[in-house]
A and B are shown apart, each in its own frame.
Chain A
Amino acid sequence: MLQEEKGQERLLKTIIDAGLCVQCGACVGHCPYFDFFDGRVMVMDACRSDTGRCADVCPQLENEDAFFEPPPKNPMETVRQVFMARAMEPAIRDRAQYGGIVSSILVYALKKGVIQSAVLTSKGEGSAPRGVIAESEKDILACAGSRYSSSASLSAFNQAVRENRSKIAVAGLPCQMKALAKMKSLDKDTIAKHVALSIGLFCTWSLSHRELNQYLMHEGISSGVIKCDIPPPPSNVFKVQTRDGWFELPLDKVRPYIHRGCSRCLDMTAEYADISVGTVEDKDGWNTVITRSHVGEDMMRMAAKDNIIETRELPETNLEHLKQAALNKKKRGFLPG
């Protein structure tokens, strides 16, 4: 098999210039040639190198030489447990999008010394959300809530690695979990050892910050976005909260600003994470939780035992709908169009 060059040039040609970048940020922070600015990953200069960490870790770029085991083929991949859960702490539940599981698990893990820092996505507050390294409960809670546009937060993970941090937690989208898995397999002695916990978020698609912003400005929403929400079907709206209050926009008008790269993604439930977290249909205030590794399973068990979270069985219908949704995303992603 021809050893193809796999560096910035290939990444540019097959992913970035082809419009397939999903702004995960895995390529940002290894070198001066990539940057993340105002909601977008940009190539700053041609590096003229034949190989590159950027191409090695891009989740959209397939590896012909199998660096790592692709996951098994069932719709939700590796599953140890699936259940419903929510944070016990009311303060956390108040700031949460749904059940507050991500925030409460991270705060708990920090307090127990399992992690020393967490790579999360900032709120943005008017400017583009971006990756941050949270080191305290306050930092973690400041990031609570869903972002609907990509933040390239793995650039913050790369920064954490450069700073020689250990016991790092990473919360992110399925593409980011996949990139993280690539990074871990490339660096089994360092990166793999320093990532203590990975939490993946269910995701159907993500929006381009700049284009969404332009559309919002066009609609007269000029002050910065604080929060977004997409209520479940049959509702077909995109809700945006700014300092001036909540606005509702037709979801179909926002769909053009979904990253094109998302249409190729096969992973709705974050198959490469230790713990995957999402909503529960028809049950506001709760999260669906999937544990996929012993690290994830242990963490959830300890948290339940210490009364940090409340758990319940996930109803059969919810589980079936979740499997169907995950399968649908695979079908959409597998057939280009």
Chain B
Amino acid sequence: MTNLMTNKRGGIQALLQGNQAIARGALEGGVSFCAAYPGNPSSEILETLAEAATCLPIYVEWSINEKVALEAATAASFAGLRAIASMKQNGVNVASDFLTNLSLSGIKGGLVLVSCDDPGGISSTNEEDARLFATLADIPLLEPSTPVEALEMTKWAFTLSEEIQNIVLLRSVSRLSHTRSNVTLGPLPEFSASPRVDTSIQFHTFPVVPKHITRHDKLDKAKVLFEASPFNQYKGPPAPELLIISSGCASAYAEEAVDILHLSENVGVLKLATTWPIPDNLVKTHIQSCDKILFLEDVDPFIENQVKSLAADMMTELGIKQFFGKASGHAPDSGEQSPEIILRVLRDLFGINPEPQNRGYGDKKRGDTLVPPREFGFCPGCPHRSSYYAIKTALAWDGRDGFVSGDIGCYTMGIWPTGFNQVKSVHAMGAGSGLACGYGKLKRFGFDQPVVTVCGDSTFFHSGIPPLINAKFNQADMLLVILDNSATAMTGFQPHPGTGITAMGEKTDPVDIEIFCRSLNIDVSVADPYEMKQTAQAIYGLVQKKGPRVLILKRTCALVEGKERGFPYEVKVNQDLCLGEDCGCNRYCTRIFRCPGLVWDEENQKAKIDEVICVGCGVCTEVCPRQAIVKKKIS
């Protein structure tokens, strides 16, 4: 891939993922500085740029969180370099305080913020439409709908940014970021970065109101450019019966649906790619020729509301229109759009019945019942499983209905049976600890439920530190259990301050979480989560204490350990000791502990180890009440 990404001449075709196309577009657009924090579906953008940095004179970093990532990239822009920051929708929330001020101060070198949203929340804690930040911050918004557009529009975004002297928001969604298609590469420019901050300019936001006005002027400039943009395209008859206004992937689904239903003579699709500010004249031209307008987009009625507002302003000219979309209930106002959904919407509007299918089709569709539903689960050997088992044991011993305040990472799965349903809340990065600061002050009202807060090592660096300091400052009764598996695992093992290596592969002095926490002069201890009983006893003891306390459960992620060092044991269930259904334990090992390597042998009606799945960590030997699970050290 490095060859493709760093290919200087271009002119070749490549099968590129949407995120890779964005990365290539940034390179073709002359980017020098790239920063991000991992977050699905955006992570591949920086990963691709980091690989390219081995051959190209650019700088790429994984920042500690999205706010710092945007700030760091902006510094390069202030020094006249072109820069990019990429993140998922929640990352924009984190960066938003800076963003909403930055758009007032303006920038110098072209600066692009890429938000990869996750409609449907397939890999997120929420479903959120980051396009709204464009209206909030008064910045231009670009929405590619294919990998080709992703490349072209990212490249153009830097030019646009410099022309209007403000940051540009480019919005992708999971389907676009992770879809692959043929893309033609362009040439790479000569990289010549000579950063210098012009100290005759001041990048601040005062006076606020005049700068706000200026910001609007910049948007007007963008609108003029948008009116002429080749990325906005119309496909359909000159005076359609129904006009679909759409953007992003939804426009591709719309075109597909129109095709399938043979409605290309009746329906026109206006695909908008420059979606804030809306190119009024372009939209007006199309609305004029049609009285029925359908909006299809992920996630919020963003274009829908803007166009309705436009139509209201122009009502005397345009006349009365009929709008269909999320507000009318025709298009779903939550969840991801899909070809099936859009087919249904169009069928409803046109009164088309679905074509009858033969009986075989029904059987095929029912075939999904043949695939057993699968739970989310921790990997075999995952230290989080052991950590939650220890927490569950300690809270059960305590008996006061204790619970876990959760956070974001693989260990979020503690809300499910794989983590014994211990986690009772999950919101944003660091929120578990923030909530704990509140729980930790409820004692005066008679609150006595023990609260255990969990936080991963990467999450801790991202936003877990301020709440811990808050707990120290406000003397909150907070027990923070840092699940230190030396990895940003859930998003794909990107480096973080504790791993000792940067995005560009340079070795660094790792930040030691234990030393850091001790510097706060609070109760800090370290334990091995694989030793579940000991860890449970430690947690039980800690739960009885007051004030801020930290327990670091240190054990490398099983996937990392498996790759780097391997595991020491061969684990087996002794079929003579295991009594199976006759034990009376009611399948304690498989039903409660649930490691995927430990399975129920339906034939013999006993527990057994699946040698293919089991990694050999040996933790489950603690679980069987008859000690029927045994481990043998392998050389």
Interface residues of A (CB under 8 A from B): 30-33, 35, 37-38, 40, 42-45, 47-49, 52-53
Contacts and interface: CB of A to CB of B under 8 A. Distances in A.
B170 to A, nearest CB: 49
Contact of A31 (B392, B393, B399, B625): B625
Contacts of B584: 30-31, 49, 52-53
Interface in B581-603: 584-586, 588, 592
Contacts of B625: 31-32
B352 interface: no
A137 B623 CA distance: 35
A59 B584 CA distance: 21
Nearest to A32: B625
Q: Max chain B CB contacts within 10 Å: which of A32, A38, A49?
A: A32
29 contacts: A30-B584, A31-B584, A31-B585, A31-B588, A32-B588, A32-B592, A32-B623, A32-B625, A33-B585, A33-B588, A35-B393, A35-B396, A35-B397, A37-B540, A38-B397, A40-B397, A40-B399, A42-B396, A42-B399, A44-B392, A44-B393, A44-B396, A45-B396, A45-B592, A48-B586, A49-B584, A49-B586, A52-B584, A53-B584
A131 to B, nearest CB: 17
Interface string B249-273: 0000000000000000000000000
Given A32-B625, A37-B540, A47 B586 contact: yes
Contacts of B586: 47-49
Interface in B118-158: none
A38 B540 contact: yes
Contacts of A35: 393, 396-397
A44 B623 CA distance: 13
Contacts of B396: 35, 42-45
Contacts of B540: 37-38
A37 B397 contact: yes
A30 to B, nearest CB: 7
A100 to B, nearest CB: 35
A49 B586 CA distance: 7
- In order of increasing CB-CB distance, the 8 nearest A-B pairs are A37-B397, A32-B625, A44-B396, A49-B586, A32-B588, A47-B586, A42-B396, A42-B399
Contacts of A38: 397, 540
Interface string B387-398: 000001100110
Given A31-B625, A32-B588, 12 more contacts: A32-B623, A33-B585, A38-B397, A42-B396, A42-B399, A44-B393, A45-B396, A47-B585, A49-B584, A49-B586, A52-B584, A53-B584
Nearest to B420: A45
Main secondary structure of the interface of A (DSSP, over half): loop
A256 B67 CA distance: 55
A42 B399 CA distance: 7
B399 A32 contact: no
Nearest to A35: B397
B100 to A, nearest CB: 49
Interface in B528-559: 540
Nearest to B584: A31
Interface string B371-406: 000000000000000000000110011010000000
Interface string B562-596: 00000000000000000000001110100010000
B329 to A, nearest CB: 43
Contacts of A45: 396, 588, 592
A48 B586 CA distance: 8
A12 to B, nearest CB: 12
A272 B270 CA distance: 88
Contacts of A44: 392-393, 396
Nearest to A214: B544
A162 to B, nearest CB: 9
Nearest to B393: A44
Contacts of A40: 397, 399
Contacts of B585: 31-33, 47
A30 B586 CA distance: 12
B586 to A, nearest CB: 5
Contacts of A47: 585-586
A46 B62 CA distance: 44
Nearest to B399: A42
A32 B592 CA distance: 10
A33 B540 CA distance: 18
Nearest to B536: A37
A30 B585 CA distance: 9
Interface string B186-213: 0000000000000000000000000000
B446 to A, nearest CB: 15
A45 B396 CA distance: 8
A44 B389 CA distance: 11
A53 to B, nearest CB: 7
A38 B543 CA distance: 13
A47 B396 CA distance: 14
A96 to B, nearest CB: 33
Contacts of B592: 32, 45
A31 B584 CA distance: 7
A301 B397 CA distance: 45
A225 to B, nearest CB: 17
Contacts of A42: 396-397, 399
Nearest to B589: A32
B590 to A, nearest CB: 13
